[in-house]
Structure 1
Amino acid sequence: MEKRRIRKKSSKKKWWVLTPIIILAVILLSIIGYGFHLYNEVKNNVNDKMHEQVSGDVIDVERTKERIGNQENINVLLLGIDSETSITGRSDALIVMTLKPDEETIQLVSIPRDTRTTIVGRGTEDKINHAHAFGGPEMAIATVENFLDIDIDYFARVNMDGMAELVDLVGPITVNNHLEFSQGGNSFPTGNITLTGDETMNYVRMRKEDPRGDFGRTDRQRKVIEGIVREGAKISNVTRITAMLDVLGNNVSTNMTFSDMTSLFSDYRQTAKNFENYQMEGSGTMINSIYYYIVPEEEVVKVRDMIES
């Protein structure tokens, strides 16, 4: 689930997902109640700039509404795109984020990008991160649902542009670093460290020096997500919230409407109290001279049970 290195300014920008920040921005506004003007500004930003509708054949809206009404687990597919526009490109990061109200927990399950599986809509075996490049979020959602045999309720897609700016808006963030290394002119000692936007980019980009390769990098990505969520929850300045939403509007798309967000997270906001992280496990192999990551069926069953429990 983690692999190699990234150059400083590559057109293939490998990164992670920021949906929890959208969620927190909406929660903050509903809690703090900043007034009609800001409310409408946020609403228009989400509905006009971030919202991307998907087919009802892929996501059953009525089923999701029923789950929310019953306070059941909700699954959000987070897609990090290695493209500057986030409209095309492979999903270099795939994370199923499950909101578990009974446990007051957000569970993040990372799927290795090279996982070999059936690409729904094409009927071929390929790397799971190619699904988005072939058919956008709808094909990515359908492929992940088929792979894990779960239902996805929402998706959020993010590209790397603007993420350093976002970290600077909510941060600096703090992460607990387990590997001492240097990248891009920054040194990262072990223990709790604080990161600016530029430092965060170097922190998550490093793969070559990590003995766990992509798996170590994905672990750092998840730590950054948690750090951003925690710092974002502290924001109480109207200007900073507005600026944060502008950055998100330019870099994030989701099938959630503003109404979806407010109704969902008025009931699910307590899930941000705790985080559980898991990385799907398997083994690498070469098939027709192409590297794939093979996840055994027992691992798939284990993850499905984790998500649905």
Structure 2
Amino acid sequence: MSKKIKVTLWLLTFFLILVAGYGIFMYQSVKETANQMYEERKPSPSVPVSVATEIKEPIRETVNSEKLEPFTVLVMGVDERENDRGRSDAMILLAVNPEKKSILMFNIPRDTRTTIIGHGTVDKINHAYSFGGVDMTLRTVEDFLQFPINYYIKVNMEGFSRVVDSLGGVAVNNKFQFDYEGYHFAKGDLLLSGAEALAFSRMRYEDPRGDLGRNERQREILKGLIRKSLNISTVFKLQTILDEVGTSVKTDITFEEMKIFMLEYRTKLERIDQAEVKGYGKKMNGIWYYIVDKEEREEISSLITAQMH
């Protein structure tokens, strides 16, 4: 064997070792980040409640991801403060069905008046998080929708901006021009930085549709992030994203499930459909609520059922 061929083979072997080594490093990094993000769903603190406010049997179900079964996930944007658990500033339900090649996405308006399961009160649905954290929020939303939630993803709203920046920004379509928190948002297609995306998602009072308009902008951002995350171009960008996600996101999706979702589910998802929970505003005892009647709740529940079957 000539010296030239030996050198070439040595270089090729060295390169393959580097690639394999980096692959192992990336796998470990992903696994460590996934473990850092993982937060098992824990029961809410015990609060005296009436039997009438409790779900007698949990309606949450497990998902066989290896069979590519559809699943639901509640995405919560949480505005946490020092010495205060905070409230869920945004709640977006995703119903993912690879067989239908689609994701159904809709907001649950945060001022929706409903029974807070496990607390024995009727209040704004976003207060469930401040009363009992993730578990009370999930049980309350499940009761409101009468449909099981398989997973949750909790995103710290301040850390959210870093996640957007790590993805290189997020593309949105803005329906009308407005200024908010020192930023100018022109009408049309925009590429937003993390700080801009946070402001874009929070504007409320200048929107003619109020909370519903803000909900639509939140869905627009999440839709852009989903599309971008499903098309991560390089492992180098992935590592940057993981560094940010690990400190800003908590979820009960395990590492093994994440691998299946990324490798098997994402290639089958082609579109994102959106819906809106219809209701009306009403003041009760000086407090403004969003009222969703029984017929609308049944309609939304039917919509999720149709998406999942």
What is the CA–CA distance in structure 1 between the aligned matches of 2:135 and 2:23, rounded to whole Å? 36
**Structure 1 residue aligned with 2:41:** 54
Alignment pair present for 1:64 and 2:62: yes
**Structure 2 residue aligned with 1:131:** 128
What is the CA–CA distance in structure 2 between the aligned matches of 1:160 and 1:298, rounded to whole Å? 33
What is the CA–CA distance in structure 2 between the aligned matches of 1:287 and 1:170, rounded to whole Å? 43
Residue 187 of structure 1 deviates from its aligned partner by 1.9
Aligned length: 273
Residue of structure 1 aligned with 2:213, choices 212, 216, 220: 216
| Counterpart contact for 2:106–2:219, Cα < 8 Å | no
In the superposition, the TM-score normalised over structure 2's length comes to 0.82
Which structure 2 residues correspond to residues 183-202 of structure 1 after superposition, within 5 A?
A: 183-202=180-199
**Structure 1 residue aligned with 2:234:** 237
**Structure 2 residue aligned with 1:276:** 273
What is the CA–CA distance in structure 2 between the aligned matches of 1:271 and 1:179, rounded to whole Å? 33
Moved more, 190-199 or 209-218: 190-199
Which structure 2 residues correspond to residues 257-276 of structure 1 after superposition, within 5 A?
A: 257-270=254-267, 272-276=269-273
| Counterpart contact for 1:105–1:270, Cα < 8 Å | no
**Structure 2 residue aligned with 1:76:** 73
What is the CA–CA distance in structure 1 between the aligned matches of 2:185 and 2:173, rounded to whole Å? 10
Residue 87 of structure 1 deviates from its aligned partner by 8.4
Amino acid at match of 2:29: E
Alignment pair present for 1:181 and 2:168: no
Residue 208 of structure 1 deviates from its aligned partner by 2.1
Amino acid at match of 1:39: Y
Residue 206 of structure 1 deviates from its aligned partner by 1.7
RMSD after superposition: 2.3
**Structure 2 residue aligned with 1:122:** 119
Which structure 2 residues correspond to residues 137-148 of structure 1 after superposition, within 5 A?
A: 137-148=134-145
Larger RCO: 1 or 2 (CA < 8 Å, sep 6+)? 1
| Counterpart contact for 1:171–1:231, Cα < 8 Å | no
**Structure 2 residue aligned with 1:24:** none
| Counterpart contact for 2:66–2:260, Cα < 8 Å | no
Residue of structure 1 aligned with 2:85, choices 70, 84, 88: 88
Which has the larger Rg?
2
**Structure 2 residue aligned with 1:294:** 291
* 1:173-214 deviation digits (Å, cap 9, x = unpaired): 221111111123322222212212222222222222211111
| Counterpart contact for 1:79–1:91, Cα < 8 Å | yes
| Counterpart contact for 1:64–1:153, Cα < 8 Å | yes
**Structure 2 residue aligned with 1:25:** none
The SS at the match of 1:235 is coil
Residue 265 of structure 1 deviates from its aligned partner by 4.1
Amino acid at match of 1:278: A
Cα distance change, pair 301–270 in 1 and its aligned pair in 2 (3 A): farther
User: Unpaired segments of 5 or more residues in structure 2?
Assistant: 1-20, 44-56
What is the CA–CA distance in structure 1 between the aligned matches of 2:27 and 2:82, rounded to whole Å? 27
Residue 118 of structure 1 deviates from its aligned partner by 0.9
User: Unpaired segments of 5 or more residues in structure 1?
Assistant: 1-32
What is the CA–CA distance in structure 1 between the aligned matches of 2:233 and 2:262, rounded to whole Å? 18
Cα distance change, pair 204–108 in 1 and its aligned pair in 2 (3 A): same
Residue of structure 1 aligned with 2:153, choices 151, 156, 178: 156
Moved more, 160-169 or 99-108: 160-169
